[in-house]
Chain A
Amino acid sequence: MSDLYRDLSDAVTAGNTETTKKLVNQALAERTGAQTVLERGLLPGMHVVGERFRSGEMFVPEVLFAARAMRAGMEILRPLLTETGGEATGTVVIGTVQGDHHSIGKNLVAMMLEGAGYRVVDLGIDVTPQTFVQAVSEHKPDIVAMSALLTTTMLRMAETVNALKDAGMRDCVKIMAGGAPVTDEFVKNIGGDGYASNAGAAVDKAKELLGR
Chain B
Amino acid sequence: MKQVPREKNMKRTEFFRGARDTVPLLVGAFPFGLIYGTLAVSAGMSVPAALGMSAIVFAGSAQFIAVGLIGAHAAPLVIIATTFIVNLRHMLYAANLLPYISHLPQRWKIPLSFWLTDEVFAVVAKRYPSQDPSVCKHWYQLGSSLAMYLNWQFWSAVGVISGSFIPGIESMGLDIAMVVTFVGMVVPYVKTKPMVFAVVTAGGASLAFAWMPYKLGLILAGLSGIAAGYAAMRIFRGNDHVAV
A, B co-complexed: no
Residues of B within 8 A of A (CB): none
Residue positions of A touching B, CB distance < 8 A? none
